[in-house]
Structures are given as C-alpha cells and as structure tokens.
Amino acid sequence: MSDVRQLSPAAVRERLRTAADGVQLVDVREPWEHKQVHLPGAILIPLAELPSRMRELNPHEPVIIYCHHGVRSWHAACFLMQGGFEQVFNLSGGIDAWSREIEPALPRY
C-alpha cells in the first residue's frame, strides 16, 4: 500500500501543536527503544502487538505513527488503513529524523 501519507518532522510538530482534534501519537518500536527516547504523549504499541491492540486506538481520530527510521511505522500505517482507519500518517524518517531536525538534544541510537 503505497498511499500511506508521510509527514515530515516539522509537519508532525505543527500538527501536534495545533490539533484541536485528538491526534493519537503511536510509537511502534520495542519497549527498550521507547525507554531510550520517545516523544511526549506517545502511546507505545510495538509493531508485533498492533494486531491485538489496535482497538486501543480511536479509528475516528487522526493517528500519527513513528518508529526509529520510518519503516516499521509505514507497515503499521498500512495495517491500520486496511483495518478501516482513514486518518493515518507516518512520521517520515522516524524519531531519528525528529531528533536531527526538531530536537537535537534527544538521544540518537
């Protein structure tokens, strides 16, 4: 599914800053990765757990998904879109791009 909508780190920052609706920020990395560095307010749902935990997300609210570099989150976005979620976005470049472009003080790994 190539129609996953990509958002740059700057676009995600703006979306999170101005969203009047309930944007759901989902981290699909592993717990050890999340412990090292994560975005405030992110819900940790490792990619392998997404099929059994997707009911924790509201399909009527936007979902922004991220991982380390954007590959796992792209797969997660495809999965949610196939599950009926319409407002799904992938943080292009993942948290690594976020730390390079938005918050250089965040640890990189």
Residue 67 a catalytic site member: yes
**Which residues sit opposite 88 in a β-bridge?**
63
Helix residue ranges, H only, 1-109: 9-18, 31-36, 50-53, 71-82, 94-101
Count Cβ atoms below 10 Å from residue 75 Cβ, excluding itself: 17
Euclidean distance between CA atoms 32 and 79, whole angstroms: 23
Catalytic residue among 45, 47, 67, 80: 67
Task: Tell me how far CA of residue 9 lies from CA of 58, 70, 89, in angstroms.
Answer: 23, 11, 11
Any idea which residues carry the catalytic annotation?
Answer: 67
